[in-house]
Amino acid sequence: MNDTPNVSPLPKRVRARIHEGALHRVTRMYTARLADVFTEALQNSRRAGATRLIVTIEEASGAQAVTIADDGAGIADPVVLLSFGENGWSEELVRREDAAGMGFLSLARRGCTVASRTPSGAGWRVELTPAHFRGEAEAEVLSGADAPEPHGTAVRFRTEENREVIRRALENAARHYPLPVMLDGGPLPHRDFLENAVYTESWRGLAFGVFANRSRYRDEPDLNFHGLVLPVRLPTVHPVDGPAWSVRADVEDCPGLELVLPARKEAVETPFLEEMREAARTAIYRAMVQAETAPVIAFEEWRRARAAGVELPEPSPALRPWRPPVADIDNWLAGPSPEPLPADALLMDAELGPPEAQALWRAAERGGTAPRLFESDRRFEGYPWYDALPRVTDVHTDVALGGEARPLEDYRTPSDRSGPSGEPPPRPDAIRMRLDVEGPEDASETLALDADLVFAGEAWAWLADVEPLVTAGSAIEPAELADVLRDAWFSPSDEAEADSWETQRARFEEEALHLAIGLLCSEEEALRRTIACAVRRELFWLIPKDRSVTITVRGGAVGVDLAEEEESP
C-alpha cells in the first residue's frame, strides 16, 4: 500500500494575476478622504479634455450631496468604472501621464452615482455602492437623461462632512489646477505654483521655478502634477551668510517622472528623479548668476556649480569678526556681519571655552590685536584666499608671581596660596597669553599678548569655585570684572523648580559683583561697596527721586535723615 500523499505537479510557468481577494479589499486602496476624491475627479476631467468644472453642494437627508460635473469627452463604456487598471484614455496619454485607471477607487468606500454622455452617444447613468466596487454585485446601467449636455461626466456622492470642510478640501484641490473650477456659481481661487519665482526654466517636460530668500519646511510640496502637489525633495542651496534659495517644479508633459500609484502622493526613486534634482540645483545656480548681487556660497557648492557649467563669482575675502563665546548658550546673540579681511587677519581656529575666550578677548582688545581676529568658517575651505590665511590653533597662558612664571594649568590652588590669617592670596605680577599661529605651507609663529585677567580651574563650574586671577597692576573695576564673570560663567538652570532666567541672572550678577569687590578692593573699601550695593538693591525704590537720604547705623540703632524737598524751578 502506497502512503505517499498526492502532490500536484509544479507548473512549468507562472504569470502575474490579480487574486479575487484583492478585489474584496479595493475599498481600502484609498483613505477615502475628500482630498482624494476631489483630486482624482479633477484629474479625470482634465484628461477628458474638459474646459471647466462645476461643483454643487446640496442638503440631502441630513448629509451633503456633492456633484462634480465637467464638459469633457464623457465615458463611452461604463464598464471601465469597475474594471480597475483599465481606462478609456488613449495610449499616448497613458504613456505621458502613467494613467493607472484606479483613481475611481477613491469613491469605493463612499459609493456614488455617475452620469456621462459622449458627443456621439446617448447618455447613461449608473449607481454604485461599495459592494459593486468589491465585485459582490452587478450594477445596472440606466438611461442618463440627466447626463451633462452636450457631453461630459457628472459624479455625485454623499458625505457627512459639513459644507465648510467640503469647500476647503475642494479649494485645496483646485488651487494649482490648470482648469477653472466653479462652486455654487463662483470661481474658486487659483494660484500659479511658481508664483513669485525669480527665475524659471524648462527641463524635460518640467518647468523649474527658483525662489530667493525662501527656505522649505520639511515635506513641503515642491512638485505640481496638474494640480496635485506633493514633495519630491528638490534641493535647497544655503548661502554662507544669507537666506536659502529653493526650487519648485511644475509638470507640463513629463513621461519620465514616476509617481507611486494609485494615489500619487510620493515619487518613485528612479535615476530620472536623481537627474531631476541635479537639474533643479543647476537651475538655482543659474538664478544666482542673474541676481543683482550674487550670494556668497560655500566652496563645495561653488565647485559643484562649475562642474554643472555655471560660473558663479568667487566670493571676496570677508569673514565675521571673532567674538568670544558666552556660557549662557541659550542667550547667544548673532555676531557682527562679515567684514573685508585686513592684510594681517588671523583665523580663530582654537577650541576655547567661555572663560578662556573672554580672557583672551580682553587681552586682545587691550593689546590692539582684536581687529585682526576673525571667525573660521570651514565652508570656505578650498577658496585660495581662505586657505592662505594664518590661523590661531591653540592658546597657552603663563602666570608670573614672585619672579616665577608657570603655566596656568599648574597654578596653585587658593588654599596653597592663601596668606596668614586667611588673607586673600597675592595677585599675580604678570599674565602672558601665547597664541600658536599656523600659516600656509606649515609656517608657524607665536603671538604674545599681555593680559591682566584669566581664570584658573575648570570651565562650567559653580561661581563659588571660580578663581579669577587679576594682575596687581590691573585697573579693572569690580563692575567690569563682574560683567566678565557673567559672560564667562553664567549658565542658568532649566529645571522645573528653578527660578526664572531673569531671577537667576540677577542673583548671579549680585554674587559676581560681591566676588569682584572682595578680590579687587581693600577690606575697608570692600565693606563700603558691599553696603552700597545692598542699599542700591533693596532701598532705591523707597527713596524719592527729588530728595537725598542719610542713613546712620550705630550700636543697632538706625537713623534716617531726609533732605528738604527740592523746589521746582
pLDDT in tens, 519-528: 888 666 666 6
Question: Is residue 330 classed exposed, middle or buried when 0-12, 13-18 and 19+ CB atoms within 10 A define those classes?
Answer: exposed
Whether residue 538 is predicted with pLDDT greater than 70 in this model: the reply is no
Length of the chain: 569
DSSP assignment of 464-529 equals: GG-EEEE-TT----HHHHHHHHHHHH-----STTSPPHHHHHHHHHHHHHHHHHHHHS-HHHHHHH
Instruction: Write the pLDDT tens digit of every residue in 346-396.
Output: 999 999 999 999 999 999 999 999 999 999 999 999 999 999 999 999 999
Instruction: From residue 2, give the alpha-carbon distance in Å to each of 5, 6, 8, 263.
Output: 9, 10, 16, 55
CA 459/CA 566 separation, integer angstroms: 51
DSSP 205: T
| pLDDT cut 70: percent of the chain above it | 86
Instruction: Write the pLDDT tens digit of every residue in 406-435.
Output: 999 887 544 444 445 456 678 999 999 999
CA 238/CA 244 separation, integer angstroms: 5
pLDDT value of residue 315: 94
Closest by Cα among 403, 486, 395 to 432 = 395
Whether residue 473 is predicted with pLDDT greater than 70 in this model: the reply is yes
CA 467/CA 414 separation, integer angstroms: 8
Domain-wise residue ranges, the chain: 20-187, 199-307, 329-534
Instruction: From residue 331, give the alpha-carbon distance in Å to each of 320, 409, 449, 493, 504.
Output: 19, 29, 29, 13, 13
| pLDDT cut 90: percent of the chain above it | 56
Strands 391-401 and 373-375, sheet pairing: unpaired
Contact 426, 434 (CB under 8 A): no
pLDDT value of residue 567: 57
Q: Annotate 471-483 with three-state secondary structure.
A: CCCCCCCHHHHHH
CATH of domain 20-187: 3.30.565.10
3-state secondary structure of 335: coil
Amino acid at 352: L
pLDDT value of residue 2: 59
Could you list the beta-strand ranges (E) of 100-180: 112-117, 124-128, 141-143, 152-159
Instruction: Write the pLDDT tens digit of every residue in 249-264.
Output: 999 999 999 988 777 8
pLDDT value of residue 554: 82
Q: Name the grid cell of 91.
A: 495610449
- Assign 3-state DSSP to the chain and report helix, strand, coil percentages, each to 5: 30, 25, 45
Please enumerate in sequence order all residues whose Cβ is within 8 A of that of 398, keeping only pairs 6 or more positions apart, or say none. Answer: 405, 406, 407, 408, 431, 432, 434
CA 393/CA 484 separation, integer angstroms: 23
Give the mean model confidence (pLDDT) for residues 42-58. 94
pLDDT value of residue 416: 47
User: In sequence order, which ranges of 56-176 are alpha helices (DSSP H)?
Assistant: 91-97, 130-133, 163-174
Whether residue 529 is predicted with pLDDT greater than 90 in this model: the reply is no
CA 167/CA 506 separation, integer angstroms: 54
pLDDT value of residue 85: 65
CA 367/CA 513 separation, integer angstroms: 26
Contact 268, 260 (CB under 8 A): yes
Whether residue 213 is predicted with pLDDT greater than 60 in this model: the reply is yes
Give the mean model confidence (pLDDT) for residues 134-163. 92
At 86, the pLDDT band (50, 70, 90 cuts) reads low
Residue carrying C-alpha cell 512638485: 223
pLDDT value of residue 402: 85
Give the mean model confidence (pLDDT) for residues 48-55. 95
Q: Which of 79-88, 481-490, 536-545 has the highest mean pLDDT?
A: 481-490
CA 445/CA 425 separation, integer angstroms: 35
pLDDT greater at residue 193 or residue 513: 193
Question: Is residue 560 classed exposed, middle or buried when 0-12, 13-18 and 19+ CB atoms within 10 A define those classes?
Answer: exposed
